[in-house]
Amino acid sequence: MPTVLVHLNSSNEKETKQSAFESRTYKVNQSEILYDELERQALSLPHGCLAGSCGSCRIQVIKGIENLSPMGVIETDTVNSIKDLYPGKEVRLSCRAKVLGDVEITPLK
């Protein structure tokens, strides 16, 4: 079973004046949609349409981009429309990417 390491940014500005980061590791089923596998384990990533056209479920792939399924037409179009907002980052949609091996991600806003 592949492992997904997720870095979460939970704002704690009132107490610390900065953001706190938390990392969690999940075992997921191979060839399944990333968003679905994490939701099954009680981690709800940001999302909207869950069809790949709104881009709300965008993630940065920190490691293991080669361990996600190739992008289809819908995901490619959506990522191409938002990728300029994230220069130098590998952007994918968690509702479209299938996990093929170990990856490390963080949600993007």
pLDDT of residue 16: 41
What span, in angstroms and rounded, lies between the C-alpha atoms of 66 and 97? 11
pLDDT at position 13: 39
* pLDDT given for residue 10 in this prediction: 61
Domains: count for the chain: 1
Question: 0.75 cut: is pTM over it?
Answer: yes
Q: What is the CATH number of the domain that holds 96?
A: 3.10.20.30
DSSP 66-82: GGBPPP-HHHHHHHHHH
pLDDT at 50: 92
Q: Vertex 84, ends 73 and 23: CA angle to 5°?
A: 85
10 Å CB burial of residue 99 (0-12, 13-18, 19+) is: buried
pLDDT of residue 26: 98
Task: List the domain range (segments joined by +) for residue 10.
Answer: 3-107
* pLDDT for 76: 98
Query: What's the pLDDT score for residue 4?
Result: 98
Mean pLDDT (10-residue bins), the chain, 109 residues: 92 47 95 98 94 97 99 98 97 99 96
Burial 43-52 (b: 16+ CB within 10 A, else e): eebebeebeb
Between CA 101 and CA 86 the distance in angstroms is 24
